[in-house]
Amino acid sequence: MATASEIAAVGVIGAGQMGSGITQLAAAAGCAVLLLDADPTALSRAVASISASLRRLAAKGQLSQAACEDSIKRIRCVSTVQDLRDADLVIEAIVENEDVKKKLFVELDKITKPSAILASNTSSISITRLGSATKRPSQVIGMHFFNPPPIMKLIEIIRGADTSDEVFAAVKSFSERLGKTVICSQDYPGFIVNRILLPMINEAFWALYTGVATKEDIDTGMKLGTNHPMGPLQLADFIGLDVCLSVLRVLHNGLGDNKYSPCPLLVQYSEVRNTWLLTPEIIAVYS
């Protein structure tokens, strides 16, 4: 099994916003990155976004021009899981659905080399259960990046029941190599951040649903009254309403407490507007 310094080739599955951000971080840290997505358009869009982001950093003097161009060259787009067979670390950033993730981990277990570490960017799903789908549960771990990954300073690492000390140490060191602060959670529903954050977001939806206040006043109250950079309703849009709903359902099912029951308004909104676009206003908050 590779140590943090030996992680040279990283596979990232999913060319959405999270996968693109993780790819950028790994490439800038000197890794060869294989970015996998079945959609060629998503891959093209991801590479364009990553290149533009790295060049902005170079223009600001936060990255040398040579380092910027080298990072871009280290990224290779692939379309099949078989292309990840030589990766030292594979990080999946696909849909937040346990069955879909388990099927992927079964495939990865068959194809990747025996020493490879398999990581999930899940924000709530049990790492122990994902690991149980493989023959290497000791090498399965959670790496929960936050949106957008190149800007947010945190990685939440989750150990499954079988995750080895060696894998934990390697992934922790690798996360620090990416320039992130690491917090560690045991494998409980929602882990640390979402266990605390999602009930607040849900309560904001309940306040709106029951007519306590307008969405503007709810968000302004939390921004100015608690010094949050954005209000909970805006943050829910930022995270993705579908993701918020998924995490709340994991919390509700896993912990069995009705306080995690999703607000009907969140359920309704997530059905009609479950995607979110990064706007200049949001970028400014985190820049």
Binding region: 53, 60, 123
Residue numbers in the known binding site for CoA are 53, 60, 123
The active-site residue out of 20, 120, 123, 246 is 123
Catalytic annotation present for 123:
yes
Structure tokens at 212: 């306590």
Q: Where are the alpha helices (DSSP H) in 139-214?
A: 165-177, 193-209
Which among 86, 9, 77 is positioned nearest to 47, based on CA atoms? 77
DSSP string, 120-136: E--SSS-HHHHHHTSS-
Spatial separation of the C-alpha atoms in residues 202 and 245, rounded to whole Å: 9
Catalytic annotation present for 144:
yes
Spatial separation of the C-alpha atoms in residues 264 and 69, rounded to whole Å: 47
Q: How many CB atoms within 10 Å of residue 257?
A: 10
The active-site residue out of 144, 164, 175, 252 is 144
Pairing of strands 89-92, 75-78: unpaired
Quick check: bond before 280 cis, omega within 30? no
The active-site residue out of 20, 164, 194, 270 is 194
The active-site residue out of 121, 138, 156, 175 is 156
Catalytic annotation present for 96:
no
Which among 154, 222, 262 is positioned nearest to 213, based on CA atoms? 222
- Say how far residue 74 (Cα) sits from the centre of its chain: 21
Catalytic annotation present for 176:
no
Pairing of strands 117-120, 140-145: parallel
Structure tokens at 30: 């000197």
Please give the helix or strand (H or E) that residue 9 lies within, else none.
strand 9-13
Give the contacts of 132 (CB within 8 A, at least 6 positions apart). Answer: none
* Residues labelled as active-site residues: 123, 144, 156, 194
